[in-house]
Amino acid sequence: MQNKSDIEKKFPEGMVPLGNSTFRFACHPKVPCYTRCCRKLDLYIYPYDIIQLKNRLGMNSEDFLNQYVEVVRGSNPYFPTLMLKMTENEERLCPFLSNTGCSVYEERPSACRTYPLERAVDRSTRRGRTEEYYFLTRHDYCLGHQENTAWTVKEWIRDQKLYYYNVMDDLWAEMDTIFAGNPFAGEGAAGPKQILSFMVCYNIDRFRQYVGDHNLLNKFRLDKARRRQIEKDDESLLRFGYDWLKYLLAGMPTLVQKK
């Protein structure tokens, strides 16, 4: 079993995971800083965030990308990162901020749910299991830290309904790691494989159309229940899309092609 110092050695000086200890925090309309954090921020959004938000707004994923998303160069040199487009004035407000608070609260992105925690995932453990660590972050303007409600990380995850977001974000992180190995080599930026990858990860409604047009589900052995789920919901389609990209770009045995 790892002792505390082994864990601490994994992270930069001063970053100590919360483990089982508690932190004090509360965010509600009565805090004087209410919605202060919904402006002038760099908000990264991930594939599952897009699905949740565009379904909440009753939009097509392509329209959502055009209206709300900025494509930027992030830490991955071979695949674009997405950020929420803030209003183009001095205030740089989140487009989902209303007079009464977050207008998409139930479907807010994973970064908004996780705050004031940050999550790190270690995939290099000896037993091949992934391990997650949480850290408390503080911003001077955030007065939620002065509130008295105490939380363990587990309680925060449950309260913020983060569990499934973390599952989907981890699947996305695996894809992003594959992209970082440049499986697009030889095609250059915006070549056919990168366009397909962008569509699967970020433009799920366009991918659904592609799956139908190319009869993609019939090309692989999929049990009936999974196939029904893929046809029915966007999360299952995204998971299928990740498997398809892993098969296509990295030759991984994630799908079995029909003969």
Binding residues for ligand SF4 (CB under 6 A) = 27, 31, 33-38, 43, 94, 96-97, 102, 104, 108-109, 112, 115, 141-144
Residue 33 CB, shortest distance to ligand SF4, in Å, is: 3
Pairing of β 81-84 and β 97-98: unpaired
Within 13 Å, how many C-alpha atoms sit on residue 54's CB side? 26
C-alpha 174, offset from chain centre = 11
CB of 46: closest distance to ligand SF4 in angstroms?
13
Read off the tokens for 23.
């932190």
Q: Shortest approach of ligand SF4 to residue 31 CB, angstroms?
A: 4
Q: Is the CB of 96 or the CB of 207 nearer to ligand SF4?
A: 96
For residues 83 and 142, which CB has a smaller minimum distance to ligand SF4 in the complex? 142
Minimum distance of ligand SF4 from residue 29's CB (angstroms): 9
Least distance in angstroms from the C-beta of 43 to ligand SF4: 6
CA 59 to CA 53: how far, in whole Å? Answer: 9
The letter for the amino acid at 215 is N
Identify which of residues 18 and 93 has a Cβ nearer to ligand SF4 in the complex.
93
Contacts 24+ apart (CB under 8 A), 215-224: 216/244, 218/258, 219/257, 219/258, 220/244, 220/255, 220/256, 220/257, 220/258, 221/255, 221/256, 221/257, 221/258, 222/255
Q: Which residues contact 15 (CB under 8 A, 6 or more apart)?
A: 135
Least Å from the CB of residue 257 to ligand SF4: 40
Indicate the residue type of 194.
Q
Q: Which is nearer to ligand SF4, 34 or 247 (CB)?
A: 34
Run of H or E residues at 74: none
